[in-house]
Each structure stands twice: as structure tokens, then as C-alpha cells.
Amino acid sequence: MPQITLTTLQSLKLKGEKIAMLTCYDATFAHEASQAGVEILLIGDSLGMVLQGHDSTLPVTNADMAYHVASVKRGNKGALIMADLPFMACATLEQTFANSAQLMQAGAHMVKVEGAAWLADSIRMLAERGVPVCVHMGLTPQTVNVLGGYKVQGRQEAQARQMRADAIALEQAGAAMILLECVPSELASEITQAVKIPVIGIGAGAGVDGQVLVLHDMLGLSLTGRTAKFVKNFLAGQPDIQGALQAYVKGVKDVSFPGPEHGFSA
């Protein structure tokens, strides 16, 4: 696969072609996923749960993230590498800059931060210094204690209006991408149309520019035995993991995934 860049992703949005993104934490899966056509490999702080066995993402450190970014980089064959800034890694501008630099030096092409319009100063600072930023909005796992649990966000009109305004403000601040998690499908579509940058969804319906799933979820693996509504097991019916990865990319590209059953209403 030719090297995927932000220009590539912007072109896909303009053409209306969906973007396939998956979490990834090691060299072997990076090789397999990028060979299958996954355009973005996300080293998510979800590794705290699926790899380390924690009950949330909060214990993950920036050093943990950098280790897995470097691992993914070694196996990657052309995908864009995005890395999460973990809990409290961007509490101040100084921390944001230092931790982002560590992840970029480890091999990331872009960092992802959780939050809303209050991140504008951090995003502007990073963009000015050559660090592209994806902003994770909606259900943000790092703030799950404030949100009161893993709940769909944006169902109330005032909250939906604020989320749309925040997305526009973040784009103006220099954000290169937005990720929406557990947001009503109609609202996610409205936000996607309101901004010029790519919008990726997880539990946000099919009206966004692309989809992301946790690798282990799309392979039907779970420590808890619970499956989120927006998850589909792509290994079912496939001969091997490479087949599952290709089925995921195809499902995203031909918009057969996500189906209405994977999304949320207002």
C-alpha cells in the first residue's frame, strides 16, 4: 500500500470514499492490517484494557504508548499511524508538547486527544509545531467518571448543538481529524457535513467519513464477554485473521458496515 498521508485521507473524504481505521498494538498485526488495506492504525490507550487487563484506560502511561507505537511502526506497510495521548498526558500545554513529541519520535504520524473546544489552544500549539491532531469527541473513555459511565453523548438538543459548535471550533484551531464515539447517527452526519476535515466514527452511524473498531473486538475477542452495540465480529465466516481484516475493510468501504443496528438514535 502506498504511504497514506493526511492529503490521502482528505482526498478520500472529498471523493466520498470511506476510510478504514483499526486499533493496533504490535508489529505483526500492523503488518497484517496495513496489508489488508487499513488506512489508519490507531495505537489506542484501549491497550490498557485489551492488552494489560485493566478495567479502564486510565492506568496507561505515555511510555506505554511510545513502546507500542514503535512496535507498530516496525510492522507497518504504508498506513498512517495515530497514537493516543493517554490520561493526563495533555493536562498542560507543556505536557501536551512533550508527550506528543515522544509519540511522534516513536513513529506516530498524528496524535489523538480526548475532549472538546477547550483543547483549541493545545491543538493550535501542536499544529504550529508540525504535529497533526485528531480530536476524540462524544463518549471519551478518559473522562468516563465525569460522564457517569459509558453512555451515548449528544442526545439532548443543547448537548448536540454544543458538539457541532465544538467540532467547527476545533477545525478552525487546526485539528486535522475528528473521531466521534457513541454519538447519535444523525448528529454525527451533521458534524461530518459541517467540517472539511475527515470524521471517523465508532458507534456513530454510517454517515461519517470512516470507521474505527478495536482490533480485538472485530476479531470477536473479549475479556468480559460483553459486546458493545457498535461491534461486529468480522472473523465469523472467515478462514483466518487476514480474511477478517479484509472483510472489515470491505464492509467499511461498501458501507455495509455499520448497519442501522450498530448505531444510536437521538
- Which of these is catalytic: 181, 186, 190, 261? 181
For residues 81-100, average pLDDT: 96
Residue 112 among known ligand-binding residues: yes
**What does the pLDDT average to over 80-100?**
96
Q: Which residues on adjacent β-strands are paired with residue 177?
A: 134
Quick one: average pLDDT of 136-149? 70
| 152 confidence band (pLDDT: 50, 70, 90) | confident
pLDDT attached to residue 1:
78
Consult the annotation and say whether 114 binds a ligand. yes
Q: Is 43 helix (H, G, I), strand (E, B) or coil?
A: strand
Residue with cell 451533521: 190
Mean pLDDT of the chain: 94
* CB 201 within 8 Å of CB 214: no
Kindly indicate the confidence band of residue 143, based on its pLDDT and cuts at 50, 70 and 90.
low
User: How remote is the C-alpha of 165 from its chain's centroid?
Assistant: 20
Sign of CA dihedral 262, 255, 47, 26: positive
From 177, 235, 183, select the one nearest 210 (Cα to Cα).
Answer: 177
Query: What is the rounded average pLDDT of the residues 53-58?
Result: 92
Would residue 261 show up in a list of annotated catalytic residues for this protein?
no
> Rounded to two decimals, what is the model's pTM?
0.95
d(CA 100, CA 48): 19
> So what's the pLDDT on residue 146?
55
The distance of Cα 35 from the centroid of its chain, to the nearest Å, equals 19
**What's residue 153's pLDDT?**
83
Evaluate if residue 141 carries a pLDDT over 90: no
Known binding residue 11? Answer is: no
d(Cα 252, Cα 258) in Å, to the nearest integer?
Answer: 7
Tell me: the pLDDT tens digits for 207-259?
A: 999 999 999 999 999 888 888 999 999 999 999 999 999 999 999 999 999 99
Contact 22, 218 (CB under 8 A): yes
Cell numbers that stand for 67 in this block: 513502546
CATH of 6-262, one of 2.115.10.20, 3.90.79.10, 3.40.50.300, 3.20.20.60: 3.20.20.60
Residue 147 pLDDT level (bands cut at 50, 70, 90): low
Rounded to whole angstroms, what are the CA distances from 75 to 18, 33, 63, 92, 189?
24, 10, 19, 32, 34
pLDDT digits (tens, 9 = 90+) for 66-82: 999 999 999 999 999 99
pLDDT given for residue 145 in this prediction = 57
For 160-208, how does the pLDDT look when each residue is reduced to its tens digit (9 = 90+)?
A: 999 999 999 999 999 999 999 999 999 999 999 999 999 999 999 999 9
Is the separation of the CB atoms in 73 and 31 below 8 Å?
no
